[in-house]
Structure 1
């Protein structure tokens, strides 16, 4: 073998090794290999949270120091719940600042508050802020707030990776200002929602979970756990270029707890309070649906898969949507209004 042939072979080996290293790094192979088994799940705080939650619910000071508090303020407020002793459903809409059309379409559809006789339903939109604080966009939102009085704005920077902040601040608002609802729907602003189907579902679940208890017993309804939506059981993405990449330092286990996709989910009164209080003792995580799944596991709430809720856009047909509670992908405002009207408004 001459010297030139030997160097060519070494060069090929070097290139192959370099390519393998790039593939290894790009796909996060090492992270997958060295991830810890979920059987060893011990997300901080690694303690039993149930006694602490009971202390807070009883009005006592918690015996353990909280580790997670979001230091943000509500820049606007709403008096929607001030005079209500009973509320069937409170709808929390997580909305982007510039989604004026989304919010207007919701006000014309499932956000209407007087559609269902005998049911009290309220809706609020939750937004962050941008930079600078007195931008043209903010001035437009100020006018919207003044006109509709249905927006709660919070002083954190509104972007995708701050969705957990938006979610937990909305939990804080309902905990502090509207803790009387039987159920809470948390939804993104690009979802189709049927409030009728949702209320049918939660009352059916009450009959299934405790058929010895009358469905109209409000105290009992509020005292049972429900955290329902489209449930996933999956593993973290370790790809270096993925929008959803999670390093081993951030989360060292090989799969997530069962979680409900963040597009739309339902919680009962007790679950809202339990998860909100529990979040003070659970380390922050930047993906809101994963974080709520972690909190739910830590506080002992099992997510329930709801077959009427879709994290993707379910293809529309008049009959196919009869039992649909939620479907993603309705950024076209006219489409949302048309589909919702056909499904929810009876012709004269």
Structure 2
């Protein structure tokens, strides 16, 4: 979400402890982010005994963010396959007395799993039929069942390229089944209308990405008879003409 992933504070530590914390922070930053400069924060550690503070928990695009007294202090990425609707409660543990809780701007649905808001059932966005003969390039796009908004964005952007509209290049989404029945129901409607989705017959899991890749290759060889096969994701913009030229 464009915010610092790790934070540290001054005060409340001995010199040796502070050096150890800085060494660990520096190591993780180099390991995970690739930064060479340390992230410096010059405000005191925000938690003190018998001192009130305001903690704000917000849900971003990539994960949860924590702000204390208006300052961003930490963030945690969502686990793979997580949607906001999966969160059913919040638990506060430790030696903390909660004086009051205020909830605001809670989303009713996550953008990705709100097909009524993001799917445009217009013939303009339908995929052209498969050609009778082979194609030069087949693009298989990995997508999650609840990524309605992402698929619609792809349909409106690079899938409108003239090479795809003329069926010289064919692109299809490869989607596994979702654990929620209502998501699968909406996915089936989407697949039937747009004609650009291949539903693979197993429950979605990141560990099955290899099986999805094999499914893309099998479809590209046996169904499309493509000269070349490319794998992509639903958050990737493909420059079709540049790929063909290469």
Shared fold per TM-score greater than 0.5 = no
Greater RCO (Cα-Cα under 8 Å, separation 6 or more): 1
In the superposition, the TM-score normalised over structure 1's length comes to: 0.32
Q: Which structure: greater helix fraction?
A: 1
In the superposition, the TM-score normalised over structure 2's length comes to: 0.44
